Amino acid sequence: MIANYGYMDGSGEYYISIDTDKCIDCSHHGCVDACPVGMFIIEPDDYDDDVALIKQEFRKKVKYECAPCKPVSNRPPLPCIKACTPGAIGHSW
Q: Is 69 in the site for ligand SF4 (CB under 6 A)?
A: yes
- The continuous run of DSSP H or E covering 79 comes out as helix 79-83
CA–CA distance, 35 with 79 (Å, rounded to integer): 6
CA–CA distance, 8 with 33 (Å, rounded to integer): 27
- Out of 5, 14, 53, 88, the only residue in the binding site for ligand SF4 (CB under 6 A) is 88
3-class DSSP state for residue 67? helix
* In the complex, minimum distance from the CB of residue 10 to ligand SF4, in angstroms, rounded to a whole number: 21
Positions in the binding site for ligand SF4 (CB under 6 A): 16, 18, 22-23, 26, 29-31, 34-37, 39, 52, 65-66, 69, 78-80, 83-84, 86, 88-89
